[in-house]
A and B are shown apart, each in its own frame.
Chain A
Amino acid sequence: MKLPDSKDFWSGVMLIAIGAVAVFIARDYPFGTALRMGAGFFPVVLGVVLMLFGLTFALRGLRDSARIEGNWSLRALIVLPLAFVAFGVLMEHAGFVPAMLALTAGSAAAGPEFRIGEVLLLSGLLTVMCVALFIWALGLPYPLIVGM
Chain B
Amino acid sequence: MDLFHNLIFGFGVALSWQNLLYCLIGVSVGTLIGVLPGIGPLGTIAILLPITFNVAPVGALIMLAGIYYGAQYGGSTTAILVNLPGETSSVVTCIDGYQMARQGRAGPALAIAAIGSFFAGTVGTLLIALFGPPLAEVALEFAAPEYFSLMLMSLVAAAVLAQGDMAKSFAMVALGLLLGIVGTDVNTGVQRFSFGITELSDGIGFIVVAVGMFAMGEIIANLGDPEERSVFAAKVTHLFPTWADMKQSIAPILRGTAIGAFFGVLPGTGPAIASFSSYIVEKKFAADPSRFGRGAIEGVAGPESANNADAQCKFIPMLTLGLPASGVMALMLGALTIQGIQPGPEVMTRRPELFWGLIASMWIGNLMLVVLNLPLIGVWVKLLTVPYRLLFPAIMAFSAIGIYSVNNSSFEIYLTALFGVLGFVWTKLGFPAPPLLLGFVLGPMMEEHLRRAMLMAKGDPTVFVTRPISLAFIVITAIIVVVMVAPAMKKRRGEITG
Q: Do A and B bind each other?
A: yes
Interface residues on chain B, size class: 35 or more
Q: Among the listed B167, B216, B461, which residue makes an inter-chain contact with A84, where contact means beta carbons less than 8 Å apart?
A: B216
- Least CB distance from A128 to B in Å reads 11
Contact B178 A81 (CB under 8 A): no
Contact B396 A50 (CB under 8 A): no
Contact B390 A11 (CB under 8 A): no
User: In the complex, which residues 399-427 of chain B have their Cβ closer than 8 Å to any Cβ of chain A?
Assistant: 400-401, 404-405, 410-411, 413-414, 416-418, 420-421, 424
- Least CB distance from B441 to A in Å reads 15
Stretch at the interface among B168-176, B234-242, B295-303: B168-176
- B183-206: contact bitstring with A at CB < 8 Å (1 yes, 0 no)? 001011010110000000000000
Cα–Cα distance between A15 and B425 once the two chains are bound (Å): 13
- Given the complex, which residues of A lie within 8 Å of B185, measured CB to CB? 29, 39
Contact B224 A73 (CB under 8 A): yes
Cα–Cα distance between A68 and B425 once the two chains are bound (Å): 10
User: In the complex, which residues 43-99 of chain B have their Cβ closer than 8 Å to any Cβ of chain A?
Assistant: 51, 54
Cα–Cα distance between A87 and B394 once the two chains are bound (Å): 14
Interface of A is mostly: helix
Contact B225 A104 (CB under 8 A): no
A140 at interface by CB-CB < 8 Å:
yes
Contact A81 B420 (CB under 8 A): yes
Contact A25 B193 (CB under 8 A): yes
- Given the complex, which residues of B lie within 8 Å of A56, measured CB to CB? 167
- Given the complex, which residues of B lie within 8 Å of A87, measured CB to CB? 400, 404, 413
Contact A37 B424 (CB under 8 A): no
- Given the complex, which residues of A lie within 8 Å of B281, measured CB to CB? none
Contact A35 B389 (CB under 8 A): no
Contact A77 B421 (CB under 8 A): yes
A122 at interface by CB-CB < 8 Å:
yes
B250 at interface by CB-CB < 8 Å:
no
Contact A11 B168 (CB under 8 A): yes
Nearest residue, chain A, Cβ from B439? A46
- Given the complex, which residues of A lie within 8 Å of B392, measured CB to CB? 107, 111
Cα–Cα distance between A10 and B216 once the two chains are bound (Å): 23
- Given the complex, which residues of B lie within 8 Å of A38, measured CB to CB? 188, 190
- Least CB distance from A111 to B in Å reads 5
- Given the complex, which residues of A lie within 8 Å of B287, measured CB to CB? none
Nearest residue, chain B, Cβ from A14? B429
User: In the complex, which residues 450-489 of chain B have their Cβ closer than 8 Å to any Cβ of chain A?
Assistant: 450-451, 454-455, 458-461
A20 at interface by CB-CB < 8 Å:
no
Contact B220 A88 (CB under 8 A): no
Nearest residue, chain A, Cβ from B402? A134
Contact B220 A77 (CB under 8 A): yes
Cα–Cα distance between A37 and B346 once the two chains are bound (Å): 28
Q: Given A39-B188, A50-B171, verify A68-B428 contact (CB < 8 Å).
A: yes
Q: Among the listed B187, B216, B390, which residue makes an inter-chain contact with A81, where contact means beta carbons less than 8 Å apart?
A: B216
Cα–Cα distance between A35 and B224 once the two chains are bound (Å): 51
Residue of B226, B390, B455 ringed by the most chain A CB atoms within 10 A: B390
User: In the complex, which residues 1-50 of chain A have their Cβ closer than 8 Å to any Cβ of chain B?
Assistant: 7-8, 10-11, 14-15, 18, 22, 25-26, 29-30, 33-39, 42-43, 46-47, 49-50
- Least CB distance from B429 to A in Å reads 5
Contact B174 A46 (CB under 8 A): yes
Contact B410 A91 (CB under 8 A): yes
Q: Given A34-B454, A53-B170, A53-B171, verify A42-B223 contact (CB < 8 Å).
A: no
- Least CB distance from B493 to A in Å reads 13
Q: Could you list some 22 contacts between A and B, CB below 8 A?
A: A8-B429, A11-B431, A15-B171, A18-B178, A30-B188, A35-B454, A35-B455, A35-B458, A39-B185, A39-B190, A43-B178, A49-B174, A53-B174, A80-B223, A84-B417, A85-B413, A91-B410, A92-B410, A107-B393, A111-B389, A122-B393, A126-B397
Residues of B within 8 A of A (CB): 51, 54, 167-168, 170-171, 174-175, 177-178, 181, 185, 187-188, 190, 192-193, 216, 219-221, 223-226, 388-390, 392-394, 396-398, 400-401, 404-405, 410-411, 413-414, 416-418, 420-421, 424, 428-431, 447, 450-451, 454-455, 458-461
Across the A-B interface, the 7 shortest Cβ-Cβ residue pairs: A35-B459, A88-B413, A73-B224, A72-B224, A88-B410, A76-B223, A81-B417
Residues of A within 8 A of B (CB): 7-8, 10-11, 14-15, 18, 22, 25-26, 29-30, 33-39, 42-43, 46-47, 49-50, 53-54, 56-57, 68, 70-73, 75-77, 80-85, 87-89, 91-92, 99-100, 103-105, 107-108, 110-113, 118, 122-123, 126, 130, 134, 138, 140
